[in-house]
Amino acid sequence: MDNLKSPRDEVRTGPSSLLIRDAHIWTGKDIIRGSILIEDGRIQRIARRIPERADEEIPARRLVALPGLIDAHVHLRDLRLSYKEDFTSGTSAAAAGGFTTVLDMPNTLPPTDSAQRLQEKTRRASRKILVNVGFHTAAVKDRRAAKAMKAAGAFSMKLYLPKPIAPLEVEDDLAVVQALKAAREASLPVTVHAEDASQIETTGRIRGFKELVRSRLGNAETSAVSRMLRLQTQIGCRVHFCHLTLPSSVSAIDDLHSGRLSSEVTPHHTLLSEDSVVKLGWKAWMVPPLRPWQTSNSLFRAMATGTATIIATDHAPHTIREKRHSPLRSPPGIPGLETAMPVMLTMVNKRKLSLRRLVSLLSTNPAKVFGLSSKGRLVNGADGDVALIDMKKKGKIDPERFFSKAHYSPFQGWRTQGSVHTTIVNGSVVYREGEITGKPGSGKVLRNGMRY
C-alpha cells in the first residue's frame, strides 16, 4: 500500500480518486451493500465490488452513505459580521454536520443586494470555504438588477417581509408584485420570510423572552402566507417559504409537483416548543419564534408524513454577549448546522421519522428546489458529495465543541443516537470523526444556472 497517498498533506495537481469501501449505500429507494468510487470530484461507479485501488480509501463497513446534505438556509455572515461567523468557521460547522452544500442568506453587512456585492462575496468566499456554497440575494424591484444578480449566480431573491434587507416597501402589494415580476423575468425563485409586520405586537411591555415570543404569534405567519399565495397566483413566479412554524402553512403550500411552490421547516420548530423559551431564554430565541408544544408536535408530523418540502437549519449565529442583552435587544437566531443531523437521526432511531424521508428533506428535495441537478442523489456522474453516517453512535449535544463561533444551542445536553462520521465534498474528505480535515478553498462557490 505504499502508493496510498493522503490528500490532506499534498497539493493536488492531477486526477485524484477516493474509494468508500463496503458501505451501506442509500440508493434513493433502499440501502444496498457496496462501494463508491469518486474520481476527479464525481461519482464514477457504485457497485457491489470495486477491485481497483484508489488514492485514498475509506473502510465503511458500519457506515451508511447518504448523498451530501444540502442546507438551503444558512447565515454564514463574514464581511463586517465576521465576529459572529465567517466563511471558514461556518462551512467547518457545515462539514461537521454532514452538509456538503449550503445556501447563504443576504442579510450581511453590507447586504448582498446587487450583482457587484454578490461578486465581491463570491471572491472572498472562494478562498475560505470548506463545503460548496451558493448565495441568495435581497429582493429588489428593478428588473435589470434582478437579472444581473441571476447572471452573477444568485439562487433566489429573499423577500424578508418583517423588515426588508434592501429598500423595498414590503407592506405595499404593488411593490411586492414588482419584485415578484422582476424575479420571474430573471428566472429566480423568491425565498420568503413569511411574517406580517402589522401582526407583530410592538406596544405591550415586554419583560421576558416568553412575552417577546408571544408578541409574534402564528397569525403573523398565516396572514403573510396567504398574502404571498395570492400574489404568487397573480404573478406565477416560484416561491419558497422559509422556516414555516404552523402545520396549516405547510399544508397550504403542499405543491412541490406544480414546481412553483415549496416549503421549509427547521429542526428547532419541529422538535422544540415555547417551553424551551421559558427554560432557556435567549438560547431559544429566534424568528419566527418557537410555538406551543401541540403546534410543534403536529409540525413534526406534517414533516414526517411528507407535507413539507425541505428541512433547513436557518443557522443564524450571534455572539453570546449580544444574545444576553435584554429581550428587546437580544438578536434572534441560533446556530443549527451541527445539531440538525444528530437530533434528526435520533428521531430516525426512535422510528418517528424514516431515513428515506430525512434524505428527501435534507438532500434530494433541496437539490430539486434550487436546481442543483448533479446533487442530492448517489448515482454515477453525480457530484462527489457524500455524508457517511454512524447510526449507532451515541452522543450529547455540546455547544463548546462546535466549529461554529456560536457556542450555544437550545439542544444543549440532548442525548442523541446517530452521528455524522465523515463528510466528503467534491471527492475530498473535509471532516472525519470530530476533526476538520479539509482546507479553506476545498469547497466551490456554486452559481445557479437554472431556468425556472
C-beta separation of 296 from 270 below 8 A: yes
Choosing from 56, 264, 314, 385, the residue that interacts with Zn ion (CB under 5 A) is: 314
| Annotation says 22 is catalytic | no
- The contacts of residue 294 (CB under 8 Å, 6+ apart) are none
107 binds ligand NCD (CB under 6 A): yes
CB of 73 to ligand NCD, least distance (A): 8
Choosing from 38, 102, 170, 286, the residue that interacts with ligand NCD (CB under 6 A) is: 286
CB of 333 to ligand NCD, least distance (A): 3
55 binds ligand NCD (CB under 6 A): no
Distance between CA atoms of 293 and 343, rounded to whole angstroms? 17
Binding mask 317-356 toward ligand NCD (x if CB under 6 A, else -) reads: --------------xxx-----------------------
Helix 173-185 and helix 218-235, axial crossing angle in degrees, nearest 10: 50
C-beta separation of 103 from 74 below 8 A: yes
Which listed residue (86, 314, 383, 385) is catalytic?
Answer: 314
Question: Number of H helices and number of E strands within the chain?
Answer: 14, 18
Choosing from 264, 314, 383, 385, the residue that interacts with ligand NCD (CB under 6 A) is: 314
Choosing from 180, 302, 316, 369, the residue that interacts with ligand NCD (CB under 6 A) is: 316
C-beta separation of 153 from 445 below 8 A: yes
CB of 245 to ligand NCD, least distance (A): 11
- Grid cell locating 165: 434587507
Please give the C-alpha separations between residue 157 and each of 21, 108, 112, 149, 444, in angstroms, as whole numbers.
41, 14, 10, 9, 21
Distance between CA atoms of 269 and 277, rounded to whole angstroms? 12
Which of 43, 224 has the CB closer to Zn ion?
224
128 binds ligand NCD (CB under 6 A): no
- Grid cell locating 307: 407535507
Binding mask 270-309 toward Zn ion (x if CB under 5 A, else -) reads: ----------------------------------------
Distance between CA atoms of 236 and 232, rounded to whole angstroms? 5
103 binds ligand NCD (CB under 6 A): no
- Amino acid sitting at position 128: K
Which of 86, 195 has the CB closer to Zn ion?
195
Which of 264, 314 has the CB closer to ligand NCD?
314
Which of 105, 302 has the CB closer to ligand NCD?
105
DSSP 8-state symbol, 378? -
- Grid cell locating 411: 439542544
CB of 236 to ligand NCD, least distance (A): 26
Distance between CA atoms of 96 and 404, rounded to whole angstroms? 10
Contact residues: ligand NCD, CB under 6 A? 75, 107, 193, 286-287, 314, 316, 331-333
Residues with active-site annotation: 314
